[in-house]
Structure 1
Amino acid sequence: MTISVSSVPGVQARDKGHVRDVLLLLSFFISGCSALIYQVSWQRALYAVIGVDMDSITIIVSVFMLGIGIGGMLGGWLSDRYPQRRLRLYGWIELSVALYGGLSLWLLQRLEVLLASGPWSASGVASAVACFVFLAIPTVLMGITLPLLTMAFNERSGNIGVSVGTLYFINTLGAAAGAALVPFVLLPVLTLPQVVWTAVAGNVAVVACALLAATMLAPAVRARA
């Protein structure tokens, strides 16, 4: 009787682990791409509200980096507290980013009306607060994803340095692709809302990858054990 190698449980588990790793890397590439599409799109939208000068550029970039940093700390805490749910949490976080992205331009319109109608309409402080309010939620959510995915990826690699380096490289590669796509590919043929919805679609694809990878978690962990 001939036994197929693919039918051996250990081989199947190892193969599923490889597929899971590919899904995680693909998801983080798309996530980085979507994040930069959001950033460039939101910057353009915010410039229409608060103007374009060095102060507004500094505020937007600072809030973006602050949110990602805070999210990174929260992501580390969540990863330690819920080690068996990292991928599902990652999927839910990406879904939350997608939901916010879908509402973002509508929220920005409401924020623009609020800034224009109040006694603070000419205040630089009000503009800074508006940027913080608008960008804080999505950037914190984006920051949470790296620690969650790093520890999930590390379950198979067993080398935290390799895991962080690999995921950071893939995410940065996706971010570079997103930064290039917006001005050279998307905006020449799409409106700004359509560009934002392209990023939303990317987040939805990431959710699908994360949830599919989560179904392969148990076999991968057993294979490593």
Structure 2
Amino acid sequence: MNNLIHRLLLVTFFLSGCAALIYQIVWQRYLFTGLGVDIDSVTLIVSSFMLGIGIGGALGGWVADNIPDQRLKIYAAAEFFLALIGFSSPWLFSVIQSLSGSGWSYAGVSLVSVLAVLVPTTIMGMTLPLLTVYFNDALQNIGASTGALYFFNTLGAAFGAWLTVEWLFVSWGLDQSAQLAASINLCCCILILSASKIHHLLGGTVFCPKD
């Protein structure tokens, strides 16, 4: 049982990284329509992603420390809300794309674009500290906890980047790619809730992967 929780959570973090990179590439393409393709727009979009991840990391650390009994449920909720945003993103970004044609200034479109990216990336950023603290309760080794999670998340991100460029854009297009990423988030939510249920059945004890 303990090993099952461990594996389920690592799988979710791999899948979460995959979905995140699909979103980043897809949302960049959406926003290029409204902002144009130049160094300014690329810098703005990538910086917004990094800012959101940073804010989410700080927020997730605070939540993990102050609401320890709900870490897995909050992680599941984060993936659920990412799924909702992902499913609605084709509509959301089509609205942003239309702003330029409606007379909005470049600064105005940029601000709306940043806000549209900041919300989901902040949610993404929350997930690492939530899981890191949860893992560290068992491993008592923050380096091992962070390293394992970063490895699976980065591996998933690399796979998501390859999948998007080599297959999704060729066969599916932007809207379907975003919906696939949202479906991945929804699968993560289900897996996390399953892990949380097992954790509860074990009496709330923290798993130990070495068992």
- Relative to the length of structure 2, the TM-score reads 0.93
Number of the residue aligned with 1:205: 187
Q: Is the 8 A contact 2:64 2:71 kept in 1?
A: yes
Cα shift at 1:134:
1.3
Number of the residue aligned with 1:10: none
- Deviation track 1:94-141 (CA, whole Å, cap 9, x = no partner) reads 1001101111120111222233213x33x3x22321221210110000
Q: Is the 8 A contact 1:17 1:156 kept in 2?
A: no
Cα shift at 1:196:
0.6
Secondary structure in 2 matching 1:195? helix
- 2:205 maps to 1:221: yes
Larger radius of gyration: 1
In structure 2, how many angstroms separate the alpha carbons of the residues matched to 1:217 and 1:133? 36
Greater alpha carbon shift after TM alignment, 106-115 vs 197-206: 106-115
Q: CA 1:223–1:61 in structure 2 vs 1: closer, same or farther (change >3 Å)?
A: closer
Unaligned runs of 5+ in 1: 1-15
- 2:172 maps to 1:190: yes
Match of 1:77 among 45, 52, 62: 62
Greater alpha carbon shift after TM alignment, 129-138 vs 31-40: 129-138
In structure 2, how many angstroms separate the alpha carbons of the residues matched to 1:72 and 1:155? 18
Cα shift at 1:158:
1.9
Secondary structure in 2 matching 1:87? helix
Q: CA 1:202–1:223 in structure 2 vs 1: closer, same or farther (change >3 Å)?
A: closer
Aligned residues: 206
- Deviation track 1:53-91 (CA, whole Å, cap 9, x = no partner) reads 000000000000000000000000110111011001000
In structure 2, how many angstroms separate the alpha carbons of the residues matched to 1:92 and 1:164? 21
- 2:5 maps to 1:24: no
- 2:122 maps to 1:137: no
- Deviation track 1:29-73 (CA, whole Å, cap 9, x = no partner) reads 000000000000001111112110000000000000000000000
Q: CA 1:222–1:179 in structure 2 vs 1: closer, same or farther (change >3 Å)?
A: closer
Cα shift at 1:179:
0.6
Q: CA 1:116–1:88 in structure 2 vs 1: closer, same or farther (change >3 Å)?
A: same
